[in-house]
């Protein structure tokens, strides 16, 4: 296992990250991207009896599909508050999953413990990209498979993230931008020396295109953790209305254009 940094800045950052994803209603937001977990699981061809780890699993987007395919699945996330909805979804799907609180940068598992490692829009939010990438590779056995879905910088979700970030105080220097995981060159760099052979394919999906823009904007402000926290911070500074005025245009683009993302697959030599 990796050694957890004792840097108080890093510890505070992780606590804010946990609080961010515990706020709002991520389970409702996840409905809009729920099909992606199935795509990723199908891409890496999870089979019966395989040991599968879903990292930053959220409410089980990939984990539930992997379990339905016959995998022995562990779902790990920094934010255990999400497991309530994850367990409900797993029960509805009739599958068993082991839910474990844990950090993508310090996975509580032995080297080579899994046949397949997955993450759907999750590990990309770990602040130190190379640390997280090495942990994903470490817990894979030789010959094991990796399957990730990450938002791309030039997509509609990337545009929304940048719109929000532009109005917030800058993060600490230790935090790398999550959208770096949508750049194949960056991903190749952070996995260098891990033995991972990677492939990349860009895909997209529509996100709730039939919902009126005004309704969708209110939904994301109330339900999407990063926006919930941004509103809290900016209201304290008296600056929330600046971002609120920009959100409808960003949400309109999100609702009217397919959301592009990167599917990263790989095999460990």
Virtual CA dihedral for 240, 243, 248, 251, nearest 10 degrees?
-110
8-35 average pLDDT score: 96
Task: Please report which confidence band the pLDDT of residue 139 belongs to, taking 50, 70 and 90 as the band edges.
Answer: very high
pLDDT at 208: 78
Distances (CA, A) of 31 to 61, 151, 170, 197, 224: 9, 16, 30, 31, 12
pLDDT digits (tens, 9 = 90+) for 185-235: 999 999 999 999 999 999 999 997 788 999 999 999 999 999 999 999 999
Query: Which DSSP symbol is given to 169?
Result: P
For residue 39, the SS3 value is: helix
Q: What pTM, to 2 d.p., does this model score? A: 0.95
Contact call for residues 259 and 179 (beta carbons, < 8 A): no
Provide the phi-psi class of 41: left if phi over 0, else alpha when psi is between -120 and 50, else beta. alpha
**pLDDT of res. 209:** 77
Residues 96-105 have a mean pLDDT of: 98
pLDDT for position 4: 46
Tell me how far apart the alpha carbons of residues 189 and 224 are, in angstroms, rounded to a whole number.
30
* pLDDT in the model for residue 57: 98
Mean pLDDT of the chain: 96
What is the per-residue pLDDT for 6?
Answer: 61
Domains of the chain: 8-153+172-207+258-268 (3.40.50.150)
Give the pLDDT confidence of 156-184 residue by residue, as tens digits: 999 999 999 999 999 999 999 999 999 99
Give the SS3 label for residue 118.
strand
Whole-angstrom distance, CA of residue 138 vs CA of residue 134: 6
Taking residues 105-126, report their average pLDDT. 98
Residues 6+ apart with CB under 8 A from 23: 225, 228, 229
């Amino acid at each position: 296992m990796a050694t957890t940094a004792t840097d108080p800045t890093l510890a505070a950052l992780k606590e804010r990250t946990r609080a961010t994803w515990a706020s709002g209603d991520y389970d409702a937001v996840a409905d809009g991207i729920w099909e992606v977990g199935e795509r990723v699981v199908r891409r890496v061809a999870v089979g019966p009896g395989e040991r599968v780890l879903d990292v930053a699993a959220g409410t089980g987007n990939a984990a539930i599909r992997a379990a339905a395919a016959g995998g022995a699945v562990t779902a790990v996330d920094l934010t255990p508050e999400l497991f309530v909805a994850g367990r409900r979804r797993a029960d509805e799907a009739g599958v068993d999953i082991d839910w474990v609180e844990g950090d993508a940068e310090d996975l509580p598992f032995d080297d080579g413990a899994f046949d397949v490692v997955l993450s759907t829009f999750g590990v990309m939010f770990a602040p130190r990209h190379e640390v997280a990438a090495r942990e994903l590779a470490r817990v894979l056995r030789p010959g094991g498979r990796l399957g990730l879905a990450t938002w791309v910088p030039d997509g509609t979700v990337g545009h929304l993230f940048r719109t929000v970030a532009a109005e917030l105080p800058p993060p600490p220097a230790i935090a790398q931008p999550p959208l770096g995981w949508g750049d194949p060159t960056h991903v190749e760099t952070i996995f260098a020396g891990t033995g991972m052979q990677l492939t990349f394919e860009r895909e997209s999906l529509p996100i709730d295109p039939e919902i009126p823009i005004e309704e969708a904007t209110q939904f994301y402000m109330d339900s999407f953790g990063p926006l919930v926290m941004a509103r809290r911070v900016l209201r304290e500074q008296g600056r929330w209305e600046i971002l609120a005025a920009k959100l409808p245009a960003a949400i309109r683009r999100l609702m009217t254009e397919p959301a592009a993302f990167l599917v990263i697959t790989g095999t460990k030599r």
